[in-house]
Structure 1
Amino acid sequence: MAKKALAQELKQVREDILHIGTLVEDALRDALVVLQNCDERKVKSIIENDMVIDRLRLALETRVMRLFSLYRPIVGQDLHLLVASFTITRALERSGDGAVSIAKNTLQLPFEEGKPHVYSQLPLDEKGYVSEFSIIQGLLQLGIEVQRILSETMKAFVQGDVVAARYIIEEDDVVDVRYHMVRHDLMSNLKGMRALVAVRQDEKMLQRATYLLWMAHKLERISDHCTTVCEQIIFVYDGK
């Protein structure tokens, strides 16, 4: 009887982790929409979504601690799952926090008064402002790559696919390359006489570059959190 009850509890733990992961995927998707369209309405829903993620993580941790006290001994894969659940949900929660940060920072991008909140598709616009269009596109491509990795990570968790988890860990290098490309483009935009002239005409350009660099960092960190989840998947099913 106790064994059957524990099996049901473990099933619920898996479902709760999947629920948190799904909410994080939603948050990242919406954050990229905000980045692309400056959609202020979505920011509120992303923040509310993040509060749900926080509550679910705390509830899951409480559930797991209760299971440790109710069912003894818990061994093997069951034990591994319960131990790993703490690390997995915290990594997912931090990923959700990253999505919130990206959305908020997008709306905080500073512009000179009178300058439209749009990005010229040219290196410089007619007034000499440095264009951030290519940077935004690079960020979106990085975000899409991170979205894919997050989705594949949750799929590997659901299926208990250790091979896929190992492959996803290796794919983190792809995200690192895209991240460094965005950094390189940002730094290149701030070099030379062209940048000096642009900064004089748009004093807030440096602030925008800082925000964009921070958003790129947040995306790269979400990929790192996926690596953490995949390492825990391997631990659950291989015990390593």
Structure 2
Amino acid sequence: MSRRNLTRELAELRHLLLTMSDIVAEQFTDATEALLSRDIEKANAVIERDNEIDSLELQIDRQCERILALYQPVAIDLRLIIVVVKINTDLERMGDHCRNLARNVKHVEDVPEVIEHTRLRELSEACNDILVEARRSFLERDHSLAEQVPTFDERINALHQENFDRLVDFCRSHPEKAEPAAYLITASKAIERIGDHAKNIAKCVIFLIEGEDVRHASLQEEAD
């Protein structure tokens, strides 16, 4: 198999991954809008579209397997395939969290005051920022940007903790509305987890560029 064929198949693989990334971003936007506006119809559309992400995950996996079998790539090409497999998993899990976000909408449809007690809008905006920057770091193979992405996650974690604290206090004051508040804690956690997966993607980009695995850095330092 020629180098030209390998280059073409890697380009197709990259295109599939970026397509999946775009769909996940759309799902996140729609899921958070559905939650904040308590839009059941939009929430159901997010749930139904999750199959599209799952299908792409399988397609990307098959493409990776095909390239490995036909070309036995090495060096940077092999690193790209390893990274695609990892990012593919993170994107699929993001899609699952978007679906779970949408599933919470029906439980808070009639209690806008509980949502107003949170900072879910700010949290969703912060998470959208990290999604955009993680994708851009991969698209542009930008090492500096990939290194900055984890700093976005700090704000996401802080906002999620604030939501948790606010909703616990709300439950104490309004025990009759504890159930929808609990669903909103779950929703906030889902957004926080999406931010974690975006951070993982940025770390994969660093590995792609530098060949350096920066996950669990403290554990690696102990091993050294």
TM-score (norm 2): 0.90
The one-letter code of the counterpart of 1:3 is R
Residue of structure 2 in register with 1:97 after alignment: 96
* 1:142-173 C-alpha deviation (Å, 9 max, x unpaired): 01110111011111111111110110022211
1:132 to 1:36, Cα distance in 2 relative to 1, 3 A: closer
Q: Which of the numbers 95, 116, 121 marks the counterpart of 1:133? A: 116
Q: Distance in 1 between matches of 2:64 and 2:203?
A: 20
Deviates further, 170-179 or 3-12: 170-179
CA apart distance, 1:66: 0.9
Larger radius of gyration: 1
* 1:43-96 C-alpha deviation (Å, 9 max, x unpaired): 232123211110011111011111111003x11211101011111011011111
Q: Which of the numbers 163, 174, 181 marks the counterpart of 1:209? A: 181
Deviates further, 34-43 or 61-70: 34-43
Structure 2: segments with no counterpart, 5+ residues: 213-224
Q: Distance in 2 between matches of 1:44 and 1:180?
A: 28
Residue of structure 1 in register with 2:47 after alignment: 47
CA apart distance, 1:215: 0.5
The one-letter code of the counterpart of 1:162 is H
Q: Distance in 2 between matches of 1:158 and 1:215?
A: 29
Contact 1:156/1:165, CA 8 A, preserved across alignment: yes
CA apart distance, 1:227: 0.9
Deviates further, 148-157 or 21-30: 148-157
Q: Distance in 1 between matches of 2:38 and 2:152?
A: 29
Q: Distance in 1 between matches of 2:211 and 2:196?
A: 21
Q: Which of the numbers 165, 170, 178 marks the counterpart of 1:184? A: 165
Contact 1:57/1:90, CA 8 A, preserved across alignment: yes
Contact 2:126/2:152, CA 8 A, preserved across alignment: no
Q: Which has the higher helix share?
A: 2
Residue of structure 1 in register with 2:208 after alignment: 236
The one-letter code of the counterpart of 1:148 is D
The one-letter code of the counterpart of 1:133 is E
Residue of structure 1 in register with 2:112 after alignment: 119
Q: Distance in 1 between matches of 2:77 and 2:26?
A: 29
Q: Distance in 2 between matches of 1:107 and 1:34?
A: 10
How many pairs were matched up?
A: 212
Give the RMSD, CA atoms, in angstroms: 1.4
Higher relative contact order (CA 8 A, sep 6+): 1
Percent identity over the alignment is 26
Contact 1:23/1:49, CA 8 A, preserved across alignment: no
Q: Distance in 1 between matches of 2:76 and 2:181?
A: 47
Structure 1: segments with no counterpart, 5+ residues: 111-116, 121-130
* 1:99-127 C-alpha deviation (Å, 9 max, x unpaired): 111111111237xxxxxx2524xxxxxxx
Residue of structure 1 in register with 2:144 after alignment: 163
Q: Distance in 2 between matches of 1:212 and 1:43?
A: 15
TM-score (norm 1): 0.84
Residue of structure 2 in register with 1:26 after alignment: 26
Residue of structure 1 in register with 2:78 after alignment: 79
Q: Distance in 1 between matches of 2:179 and 2:112?
A: 15
Contact 1:172/1:223, CA 8 A, preserved across alignment: yes
Q: Distance in 2 between matches of 1:50 and 1:212?
A: 21
